[in-house]
């Protein structure tokens, strides 16, 4: 008997070819043996069973070739990383450009991200964030909607009693101002507020010692940790007696943790009870006791009850003002609540009544951040794809020696991922380096969110994404090449392969040129406003707060003494410094006034010497003078006020203010006291020695400033011993008006420079790649008689064309957006053509510089060298 035929067939067909012969032999031998020992049936059975077990899927295959290792196995991963690292080290310049550029882009994105995070988390420190609101007033004047956070004194009690069920807390608040805090000999000027007694609960103060209830005692004060430290050092301040503004005796009843920098209350370094304020300031007491609904001088904060919403409460309280001052009906007054989440980012309203504010900068920077990052990614992608074309041969060889496609994909991806992760690490270092400078420029206190998992996840996630996208071209496209084609030497990457790269370069330069134009225009606008005539002389002008009873009492003696020292040319007091306009009043009447006219004027109280001190200039009439006692009811108008009132020859005419007659003695050229970007406000100046908040001092220009200040300080010490001598230079105060714009300008220019730098870095890399790719061509051209200039032109031309296209795209974009931005400012610069020209030429020059290095290098190569290999 023979073994079963089907089993033989199976073995013939499916047995492993390498071992088929001996297996069949062995099995036949065994079959013979089994037949003898166990009988035919048993032998056939065993034979079949063994054949089945030897079928290829069941039996271990004996392979003669090397096994293919799964492309994500640890061994392969180690191999990829090793080769990737070697590649990075081998092409140092390329790696530097790639990692450095990407890291810079990431660093900018991280900084902007931190900035935005900080902006968005403003005030979130407060536990009742969602329920705290500011009481606001709005109305319509001559068709123009205005909003204000000034409230009358009875607003708080009204809300607290009439609407008790809608509020958990209602807080009266003074404005955060400089006050003198004194303990024994130690005296400091610190900013702080007077608040209602339950404010610490609403603000959920974190007490370090004492209790939140401390403010309930009307002669108490709560200090922030930093102030407590300054005044009391390490000793426990609770229970100590101290003085506010040299007149109010208070007892420290608590110390609270300083508010974080990104809160509206960050300057509130101490809190004193509202009741103390109301009882010590006559005008506040009057306003409160007489229930004056017409004096809008305070802030009212509130926390709404848990069962209601800001909108619902706003709806309920909207008519409070109308109810108490029906005569204001013509401005359609409305009271409403502004929730805390809007305080910082949506603090204003545009002309059509939509909320606006810093949120536009959040968007602006967000967009810039995305674009800078995009630039860096484009570089990365461009350079990877450009370089990877050089590696086509490598792909061929790898395939020829047995690489499978998945391994090549793994290899290319791991290289780009490695670069991206390195760049992320480097960007963290860069951010750490730049942060101090950034915080200073941006007026922030942000730091890396070391403990925030979202920060790390998004950072790493982004790095991985970049790596994957940048590596996708070489990984997916190059790995598909057939080894034979590539190695034969006839292989060419398609002639359109460089098109995407060119498009990306155009995108890069469009962004860069737009940013350059934007930056120039922002700075032009700032310069424009800075050089605006202000109508007074701010050089050598200083102001000192008139915040103690001693100063009021000894004002004349102080002035005489100061002028006698020779360091002071003149001195005067006024209700506001020259750089501020913070009181407006209505109730004016004059002959020819239209009854429905919005008679709102800026009102400034000055003394006789004010004009000489600040150097205002007269268009008509004369300054206040001691020679005319009737000047005590005199009035000086600014030119805008005259135009606004529509009276001709105002000098000598009568203007009534709240029924009291004033005679116009002069008209001054407009003094710019408010925003340098806005038109000058109509303003009246009256003589009033009682309504003085600041002392204005004009220094003698022939003395050195430090010497003058020292002698002025000693005179102040004599008359005002209880206070530190704190002064402000008017020109510095004036410069502060540009702080917000300058901050934005500086940040934007920083980002613009980085953007153009990153773009150039990419260009540099691309140029070197092109030069290298065309080495042979350049060699041939040189042999045939091309000069260095010819070659330089040939290589640079392509890039110059791209930049010109980018400029063409950027110009209308910049024109549109910056035109819109400038509309915001009443006093604005023009979009001059030369700004665009300068940006374009600048970008072109930078491009040429970048590219020339590589192209001249390529042009100078001896053709003998470049052509020798073939």
- Which one among 1, 32, 40, 845 touches other proteins, defined by CB under 8 A? 32
Q: Report how far apart, in Å, the C-alpha atoms of 314 and of each of 302, 311, 557 are.
A: 12, 5, 52
Stretch that binds other proteins, among 54-62, 342-350, 530-538, 667-675 (CB under 8 A): 54-62
Helical (H) or strand (E) element with 162: helix 155-162
Q: How far is CA 219 from the centre of its chain?
A: 41
SS3 584: strand
Give whichever of 18 and 707 is closer to other proteins, judged by the CB atom.
18
CB of 19 to other proteins, least distance (A): 7
- Which one among 6, 12, 29, 862 touches other proteins, defined by CB under 8 A? 29
User: Does position 53 bind other proteins by CB under 8 A?
Assistant: yes
- Which one among 1, 12, 13, 26 touches other proteins, defined by CB under 8 A? 26
Give whichever of 21 and 249 is closer to other proteins, judged by the CB atom.
21
CB of 402 to other proteins, least distance (A): 18
> What is the C-alpha separation between 509 and 763, in angstroms, rounded?
10
Burial class, 279, CB count within 10 angstroms (exposed 0-12 / middle 13-18 / buried 19+): middle
Stretch that binds other proteins, among 18-26, 75-83, 508-516, 714-722 (CB under 8 A): 18-26
User: Does position 60 bind other proteins by CB under 8 A?
Assistant: yes
Give whichever of 49 and 740 is closer to other proteins, judged by the CB atom.
49
Stretch that binds other proteins, among 22-30, 412-420, 789-797, 818-826 (CB under 8 A): 22-30
Number of residues that bind other proteins (CB under 8 A): 22
CB of 114 to other proteins, least distance (A): 49
Q: How many Cβ atoms from other residues are within 10 Å of residue 4's Cβ?
A: 15
Strands 660-668 and 634-638: parallel
Using CB under 8 A, which residues numbered 401 to 420 contact other proteins? none
Q: Which residues contact 166 (CB under 8 A, 6 or more apart)?
A: 159, 304, 305, 308, 312, 313, 316, 317
Stretch that binds other proteins, among 19-27, 110-118, 481-489, 497-505 (CB under 8 A): 19-27
Q: Are 848 and 856 in contact (CB under 8 A)?
A: no
- Which one among 7, 43, 50, 277 touches other proteins, defined by CB under 8 A? 50
Using CB under 8 A, which residues numbered 750 to 779 contact other proteins? none
User: Does position 23 bind other proteins by CB under 8 A?
Assistant: yes
Question: Can you read off the two tokens belonging to residue 788?
Answer: 């260095």
> What is the C-alpha separation between 836 and 560, in angstroms, rounded?
57
> What is the C-alpha separation between 302 and 297, in angstroms, rounded?
17
Q: Alpha helix (H) ranges present in 333-443?
A: 340-343, 359-390, 392-400, 405-442
Q: Which residues contact 842 (CB under 8 A, 6 or more apart)?
A: 516
Using CB under 8 A, which residues numbered 106 to 165 contact other proteins? none
Q: Are 316 and 163 in contact (CB under 8 A)?
A: yes
Stretch that binds other proteins, among 44-52, 140-148, 362-370, 710-718 (CB under 8 A): 44-52
Give whichever of 55 and 804 is closer to other proteins, judged by the CB atom.
55
User: Does position 24 bind other proteins by CB under 8 A?
Assistant: yes
CB of 48 to other proteins, least distance (A): 11
> What is the C-alpha separation between 192 and 201, in angstroms, rounded?
17
CB of 35 to other proteins, least distance (A): 11
Q: Report how far apart, in Å, the C-alpha atoms of 506 and of each of 105, 379, 422 are.
A: 18, 12, 27
- Which one among 19, 140, 584, 749 touches other proteins, defined by CB under 8 A? 19
- Which one among 5, 36, 57, 62 touches other proteins, defined by CB under 8 A? 62
Using CB under 8 A, which residues numbered 265 to 304 contact other proteins? none
DSSP for 732-791, please give it. Answer: HHHHHTTHHHHHHHHHHHHHHHHHHHHHHHHHHHHHHHHHHHTHHHHHHHHHTT--HHHH
User: Does position 54 bind other proteins by CB under 8 A?
Assistant: yes
Give whichever of 57 and 282 is closer to other proteins, judged by the CB atom.
57
Q: State the maximum Cα–Cα separation within the chain, in Å, rounded to a whole number.
A: 150
- Which one among 4, 10, 14, 28 touches other proteins, defined by CB under 8 A? 28
> What is the C-alpha separation between 492 and 671, in angstroms, rounded?
73
CB of 76 to other proteins, least distance (A): 18
Beta strands in 460-559 (DSSP E): 541-545
CB of 398 to other proteins, least distance (A): 26
Give whichever of 23 and 805 is closer to other proteins, judged by the CB atom.
23
- Which one among 33, 96, 146, 628 touches other proteins, defined by CB under 8 A? 33
SS3 524: helix
CB of 54 to other proteins, least distance (A): 5
Give whichever of 30 and 813 is closer to other proteins, judged by the CB atom.
30
CB of 794 to other proteins, least distance (A): 57
CB of 772 to other proteins, least distance (A): 43
Stretch that binds other proteins, among 20-28, 438-446, 479-487, 606-614 (CB under 8 A): 20-28
> What is the C-alpha separation between 861 and 768, in angstroms, rounded?
13
Q: Are 72 and 409 in contact (CB under 8 A)?
A: no
Give whichever of 38 and 241 is closer to other proteins, judged by the CB atom.
38
Stretch that binds other proteins, among 52-60, 291-299, 556-564, 655-663 (CB under 8 A): 52-60
Phi-psi region of 535 (alpha: psi -120 to 50; beta: other; left: phi over 0): left
CB of 5 to other proteins, least distance (A): 13
Give whichever of 59 and 305 is closer to other proteins, judged by the CB atom.
59
User: Does position 21 bind other proteins by CB under 8 A?
Assistant: yes
Question: Can you read off the two tokens belonging to residue 342?
Answer: 């809007």
Give whichever of 27 and 435 is closer to other proteins, judged by the CB atom.
27
Q: Are 600 and 586 in contact (CB under 8 A)?
A: yes
Residue with tokens 């998945």: 406
Stretch that binds other proteins, among 48-56, 423-431, 493-501, 524-532 (CB under 8 A): 48-56
End-to-end CA distance of the chain: 72
Using CB under 8 A, which residues numbered 317 to 336 contact other proteins? none
- Which one among 10, 59, 404, 434 touches other proteins, defined by CB under 8 A? 59
Q: How far is CA 312 from the centre of its chain?
A: 33
User: Does position 495 bind other proteins by CB under 8 A?
Assistant: no
Give whichever of 28 and 449 is closer to other proteins, judged by the CB atom.
28
User: Does position 25 bind other proteins by CB under 8 A?
Assistant: yes
> What is the C-alpha separation between 238 and 252, in angstroms, rounded?
5
Stretch that binds other proteins, among 43-51, 201-209, 674-682, 782-790 (CB under 8 A): 43-51
The Cβ-side half-sphere exposure at 313, using a 13 Å CA radius, reads 29
Stretch that binds other proteins, among 53-61, 127-135, 300-308, 828-836 (CB under 8 A): 53-61
CB of 20 to other proteins, least distance (A): 9
CB of 25 to other proteins, least distance (A): 3
Phi-psi region of 184 (alpha: psi -120 to 50; beta: other; left: phi over 0): left
Give whichever of 33 and 330 is closer to other proteins, judged by the CB atom.
33
CB of 33 to other proteins, least distance (A): 7
Q: Which residues contact 574 (CB under 8 A, 6 or more apart)?
A: 604, 605, 606, 607, 610, 692, 693, 694, 696
Question: Residue numbers of the site for other proteins (CB under 8 A)?
Answer: 19, 21-30, 32-33, 46, 49-50, 53-54, 58-60, 62
């Amino acid at each position: 008997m023979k073994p079963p035929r089907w089993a033989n067939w199976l073995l013939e067909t499916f047995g492993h070819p390498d071992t088929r012969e001996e297996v069949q032999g062995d099995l036949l031998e065994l079959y013979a043996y089994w037949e003898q020992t166990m009988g035919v049936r048993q032998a056939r059975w065993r034979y079949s069973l063994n054949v089945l077990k030897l079928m290829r899927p069941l039996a271990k295959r004996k392979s003669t070739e090397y096994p293919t290792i799964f492309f994500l196995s640890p061994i392969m991963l180690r191999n990829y990383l090793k080769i990737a690292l070697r590649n990075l080290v081998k092409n140092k310049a390329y790696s530097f450009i790639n990692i450095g550029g990407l890291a810079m882009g990431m660093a900018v994105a991280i900084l902007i991200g931190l900035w935005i995070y900080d902006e968005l988390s403003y005030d979130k420190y407060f536990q009742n964030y969602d329920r705290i609101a500011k009481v606001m007033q709005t109305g319509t004047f001559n068709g123009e909607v205005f909003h204000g956070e000034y409230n009358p004194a009875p607003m708080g009690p009204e809300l607290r009693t009439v609407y008790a069920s809608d509020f958990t807390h209602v807080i009266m608040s003074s404005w955060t101002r400089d006050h003198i805090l004194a303990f024994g000999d130690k005296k400091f000027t610190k900013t702080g507020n007077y608040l209602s007694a339950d404010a610490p609960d609403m603000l959920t103060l974190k007490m370090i010692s004492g209790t939140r209830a401390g403010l309930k005692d009307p002669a108490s004060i709560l200090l922030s940790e930093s102030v407590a430290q300054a005044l009391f050092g390490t000793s426990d301040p609770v229970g100590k007696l101290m003085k506010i503004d040299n007149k109010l005796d208070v007892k420290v009843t608590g110390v609270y943790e300083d508010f974080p920098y990104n809160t509206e209350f960050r300057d509130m370094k101490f809190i004193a009870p509202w009741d103390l304020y109301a009882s010590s300031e006559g005008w506040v007491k009057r306003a409160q006791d007489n229930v004056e609904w017409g004096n809008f001088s305070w802030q009212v904060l509130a926390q709404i009850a848990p069962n209601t919403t800001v909108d619902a409460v706003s709806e309920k309280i909207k008519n409070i003002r109308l109810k108490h001052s029906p005569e204001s009906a013509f401005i359609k007054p409305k009271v409403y609540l502004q929730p805390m989440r809007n305080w910082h980012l949506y603090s204003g309203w545009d002309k059509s009544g939509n909320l606006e504010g810093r949120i536009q900068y959040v968007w602006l920077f967000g967009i810039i951040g995305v674009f800078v990052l995009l630039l860096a990614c484009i570089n990365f992608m461009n350079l990877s794809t450009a370089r990877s074309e050089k590696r086509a041969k490598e792909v061929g060889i790898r395939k020829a020696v047995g690489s499978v496609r998945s391994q090549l994909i793994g290899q290319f991806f791991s290289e780009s991922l490695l670069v991206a992760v390195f760049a992320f690490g480097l960007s963290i270092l860069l951010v750490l380096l730049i942060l101090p400078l950034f915080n200073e420029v941006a007026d922030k206190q942000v730091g890396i969110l070391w403990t925030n998992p979202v920060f790390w996840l998004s950072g790493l996630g982004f790095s991985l994404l970049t790596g994957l996208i940048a590596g996708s071209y070489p990984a997916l496209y190059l790995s598909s090449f057939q080894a034979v084609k590539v190695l034969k030497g006839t292989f060419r990457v398609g002639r359109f392969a460089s098109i995407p790269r060119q498009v990306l370069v155009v995108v890069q330069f469009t962004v860069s040129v737009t940013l350059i134009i934007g930056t120039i225009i922002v700075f032009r606008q700032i310069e424009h406003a800075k050089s605006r005539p202000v109508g007074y002389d701010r050089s050598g002008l200083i102001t000192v707060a008139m915040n103690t009873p001693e100063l009021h009492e000894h004002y004349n003696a102080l002035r005489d003494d100061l002028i006698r020292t020779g360091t002071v040319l003149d001195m005067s007091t006024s209700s506001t410094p020259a750089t501020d306009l913070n009181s407006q009043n209505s109730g004016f009447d004059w002959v020819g006034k239209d009854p429905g006219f919005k008679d709102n004027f800026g009102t400034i109280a000055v003394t006789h010497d004010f004009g000489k001190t600040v150097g205002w200039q007269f268009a008509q009439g004369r300054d206040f003078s001691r020679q005319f006692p009737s000047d005590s009811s005199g009035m000086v108008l600014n030119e805008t006020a005259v135009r606004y009132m529509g009276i001709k020859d105002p000098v000598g005419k009568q203007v009534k203010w709240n029924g009291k007659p004033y005679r116009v003695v002069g008209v001054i050229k407009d003094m710019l006291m408010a925003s340098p970007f806005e038109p000058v406000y109509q303003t009246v100046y009256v003589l009033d020695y009682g309504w003085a908040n600041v002392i204005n001092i004009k220094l003698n220009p022939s003395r050195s400033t430090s010497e003058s200040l020292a002698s002025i300080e000693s005179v102040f010490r004599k008359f005002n011993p209880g206070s530190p001598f704190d002064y402000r230079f008017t020109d510095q105060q004036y410069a502060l008006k540009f702080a917000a714009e300058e901050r934005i300008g500086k940040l934007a220019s920083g980002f613009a420079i980085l953007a153009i730098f990153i773009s150039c870095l990419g260009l540099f890399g691309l140029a070197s790649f092109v030069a290298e790719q065309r080495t042979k061509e350049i060699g041939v051209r040189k042999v045939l008689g091309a000069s260095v200039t010819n070659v330089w032109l040939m290589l640079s031309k392509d890039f110059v064309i791209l930049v010109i296209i980018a400029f063409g795209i950027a110009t209308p974009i910049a024109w549109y957006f910056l035109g819109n931005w400038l509309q915001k400012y009443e006093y604005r610069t023009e979009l001059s053509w030369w700004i665009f020209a300068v940006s374009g030429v600048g970008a072109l020059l930078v491009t040429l510089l970048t590219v020339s290095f590589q192209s001249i290098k390529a042009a100078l190569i001896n053709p003998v060298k470049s052509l020798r290999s073939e």
